Every structure is written in C-alpha cells, then in structure tokens.
Chain A
Amino acid sequence: GQQLNQSPQSMFIQEGEDVSMNCTSSSIFNTWLWYKQDPGEGPVLLIALYKAGELTSNGRLTAQFGITRKDSFLNISASIPSDVGIYFCAGQKGAQKLVFGQGTRLTINP
C-alpha cells in the first residue's frame, strides 16, 4: 500500500529557532494535509494543500506541495513553547483514503 516517509522523527530545538520537516511518498498525491497532535487529543488541521507547487501560510507556519506531487514540506518560523507536539503529514490521491506519515515529534528547550 501507499507509504509516507516523514522526517525527521524527532527534533530538539531552542525557542526562537526555525523548524523544517518533510514528507515523501512512493506515489503521487493530489492532496497534502498537515496536522498537529497534542498529548491526549486528536489531530488538528494546520494547512491543506491541493495544487502542485502551492505554497500556503498559516501564521508562522508555511507548507508547500512539491512539484513532483510526491513530497511536501512544513516550516515553522520563530518557534514558541506552544509549538511542542507531534506533526503529521497526510496525503490523499483522488477519493482514496487518507494516508498518514509516522509523525515528527517537536521538543522546544526554553
């Protein structure tokens, strides 16, 4: 089945630093979604991407839909303590099921 490879698996950064994470797929997707999950809660949608090459921002977050349709990137600028959590990418092809990456766990040292 389709698989998403998300990296890095974990990140330890200082408050104020920028963060970059990415997701790659073995096959093409036409939708990429980025979610954040806090402990004990469900994933919360951060950014949705529907077009190859699309670059979308949500506050300090910016995500891009790769030109090849096989990857996506999420950047967080000037990290703050509340950015701590697990970030998941998810891809979808047409009306097929949503496929999730394994997550990137972000830890911020104050």
Chain B
Amino acid sequence: NAGVMQNPRHLVRRRGQEARLRCSPMKGHSHVYWYRQLPEEGLKFMVYLQKENIIDESGMPKERFSAEFPKEGPSILRIQQVVRGDSAAYFCASSKRGPGRRQPQHFGDGTRLSIL
C-alpha cells in the first residue's frame, strides 16, 4: 500500500517566486492536513481539507498561502511571493475519516523548501 506521497522532496526558490507543494493521500483517504516544521521544533498545523473543501485553515497565514484539494488529483499547498521566513519542511498527512473519529493521521516524508 502506498503511503502519503509528497513531491517534490526538496524545492529551492528565490525570494518573490511561487512554491507549489503537492500531496497525494493514502488510498481511500479523503482528509488531508498540512503542517509546517522549523528545525528543532514540532509540527504546526496549517490547514485541513476534505475533498474540494477547506474545513479549517486557522493555522495558515492569511496572505500568500493557499491550499486546495480538488476532486481529481493531489492536494496543493501554494505559497506566493516567497520570503526567507518560508524556509521550512512542509508535511502532509491524511486520514480515512475526519478528526475525532479515532483515525490517526499518517504523514508523508515532507517537502523541504529553501528560499535563497
């Protein structure tokens, strides 16, 4: 069984460019979560999506960041006009059912974003 697949694994962008991070959830999972991790820190929740809907985006900055999970295809985390402070590891997780339904989240191996 394929796990959560994220690509690219590493992404380098210059300040002002756009970064697109992709996540394909585990087979049969329709709930996707994005997290951000800075070095030596834990993961911080950004956004929770269920097919075509954003359920909770309380952890995502209001500007420059957006997320989608279309009916077909992977979930996309998009960062516009990147700045140095966006450098981090971005992790995607998926679950079969939503939070609070005894469905633990399974994580991908992340995208390491570096801003020059």
Contacts and interface: CB of A to CB of B under 8 A. Distances in A.
Contacts of A100: 35, 42-44
Interface stretch (A37-45, A57-65, A76-84): A37-45
A101 B35 CA distance: 13
Contacts of B45: 97-99
B104 A42 contact: no
B102 A50 contact: yes
Contacts of A103: 40-42
Interface string B13-43: 0000000000000000000010100001111
A94 interface: yes
Q: How large is the interface on B (under 10, 10 to 19, 20 to 34, 35 or more residues)?
A: 20 to 34
Residue from B42, B43, B59, B108 whose CB has the most chain A CB atoms within 10 Å = B42
Interface of A: 4, 6, 30-31, 33, 35, 40-45, 48, 50, 88, 90, 92, 94-103
18 contacts: A30-B100, A42-B4, A42-B108, A42-B110, A43-B107, A45-B104, A45-B106, A48-B102, A48-B104, A88-B43, A94-B99, A95-B101, A98-B45, A98-B105, A100-B42, A101-B42, A102-B41, A103-B41
